[in-house]
């Protein structure tokens, strides 16, 4: 006997009918061709995985060229697993949040040895794959009916069910995850998840949602109560920590000293030497002389601010022309402007310093 044929209690029947409405309506509305994204042209688990990692905290249109270059360089998980970290980080340069790339490489090496997991729970065991990414891969590549909960879906469901608790709390996320799993299509779970992403991108937007165009407006409690633009609620954010640095552009005949960072933000990335605090000229001179650098000229060039998700760097760029080359530690090297562009993965936090070099030339 099918689910439809069974005698259902009134509440269970209501929930089933609601599931059918939400699932059918969102899939009828969904038009994948409206957002012709390259990762939507495949059900290959590796391709979907790479795209979902890149899309974390990055807009889709920004991701497209990075994704296409990355897939051309590393077309399979095995190809990525065999790559050097330096090459992977270079291909990632400009996307930010470089820990994503390191986790992706680490996970690819596991997949090469053990094979690609094909279900939500096992996918979560790979480095860098959380609930959302695991659900996206499982639903799109392996057709497992599990909801992919990101900011879009949290917003949609907070309005759909008029959930007033902060959506960034674990308890609320779990509640929404369970409700979305009740609603998700059993036959087209990947399309359901991607349809919800499009709904959040086009209609159920963070501000001024276009409720009259929404395919789910008849099921949406927030729309009926006129409070859609007041939801979702979130826990107030803490203020970002601010850190001051002096960045040294050490120039020896057109070669610049760069260091491979060993800890903290941008670990394993190449960047210019950073000294804590906004240092005076005499402090910089002392620092360099203690390391046997001979200074020919020193100039303060510019100040800039770089914003991370949880902190802000206030950076003063100081250009120093040197007379002699000193480079004793392995994590330091000298590179000309072309090498800084083509060889070393210089993250965006140091891009204003590269602009200073260009202005000098």
Which positions are catalytic?
Answer: 52
Partners of 248 in the β-ladder: 318
Burial degree of 86 (CB within 10 A; 0-12, 13-18, 19+): middle
What's the rounded Cα separation, in Å, for the pair 28 and 13? 22
Cβ(111)–Cβ(133) below 8 Å: no
What's the rounded Cα separation, in Å, for the pair 22 and 40? 22
Region label for 155, one of left (φ > 0), alpha (ψ between -120 and 50) or beta (otherwise): alpha
- Quick one: which of 360, 334, 350 has its CA closest to 271? 350
Cβ(308)–Cβ(296) below 8 Å: no
- Quick one: which of 210, 184, 208 has its CA closest to 199? 210
Provide φ and ψ at 303, rounded to 5°: -115, 145
3-state secondary structure of 247: strand
Provide φ and ψ at 276, rounded to 5°: -65, 135
CA dist 288 to 273, 280, 285, 321, Å?
11, 13, 5, 12
Alpha-carbon dihedral 242, 246, 247, 253, rounded to 10 degrees? 170
3-state secondary structure of 59: coil
- Pairing between strand 241-252 and 311-322? parallel
- The total number of residues written for the chain in this structure: 361
What's the rounded Cα separation, in Å, for the pair 28 and 24? 6
CA dist 312 to 108, 117, 174, Å?
32, 38, 31
3-state secondary structure of 263: coil
């Amino acid at each position: 006997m099918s689910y439809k044929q069974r005698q259902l209690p009134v509440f269970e029947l209501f929930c089933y009918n609601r599931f059918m409405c939400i699932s059918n309506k969102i899939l009828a509305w969904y038009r994948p061709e409206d957002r012709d994204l390259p990762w939507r042209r495949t059900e290959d688990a590796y391709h979907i995985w790479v795209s979902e990692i890149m899309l974390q905290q990055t807009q889709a249109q920004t991701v497209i060229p990075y994704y296409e270059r990355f897939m051309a360089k590393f077309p399979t998980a095995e190809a990525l697993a065999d790559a050097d970290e330096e090459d992977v980080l270079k291909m990632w340069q400009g996307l930010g949040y470089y820990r994503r790339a390191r986790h992706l490489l680490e996970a690819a090496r596991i997949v090469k040895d053990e094979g690609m997991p094909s279900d939500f729970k096992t996918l979560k065991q790979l480095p860098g794959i959380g609930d959302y990414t695991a659900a996206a891969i499982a639903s799109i590549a392996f057709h497992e009916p599990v909801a992919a909960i990101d900011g879009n879906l949290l917003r949609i469901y907070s309005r759909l069910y008029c959930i007033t608790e902060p959506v960034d709390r674990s308890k609320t996320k779990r509640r929404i995850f369970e409700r979305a799993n009740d609603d998700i299509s059993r036959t087209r779970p990947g399309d359901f998840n991607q349809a919800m992403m499009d709904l959040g991108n086009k209609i159920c937007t963070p501000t001024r949602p276009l409720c009259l165009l929404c395919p789910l407006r008849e099921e949406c409690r927030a729309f009926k109560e006129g409070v859609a633009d007041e939801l979702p609620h979130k826990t107030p954010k803490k203020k970002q920590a601010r850190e001051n640095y002096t960045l040294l552009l050490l120039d020896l005949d057109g070669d610049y000293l760069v260091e491979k960072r060993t800890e903290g933000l941008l670990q394993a990335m190449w960047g210019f030497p950073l000294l804590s605090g906004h240092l005076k000229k005499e402090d910089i001179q002392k620092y360099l002389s203690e390391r046997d650098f001979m200074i020919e000229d020193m100039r303060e060039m510019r100040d800039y601010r770089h914003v991370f998700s949880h902190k802000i760097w206030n950076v003063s760029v100081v250009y120093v022309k040197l007379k002699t080359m000193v480079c004793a530690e392995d994590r330091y090297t000298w590179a000309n402007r072309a090498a800084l562009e083509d060889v070393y993965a210089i993250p965006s936090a140091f891009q204003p310093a590269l602009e200073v070099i260009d202005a000098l030339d």
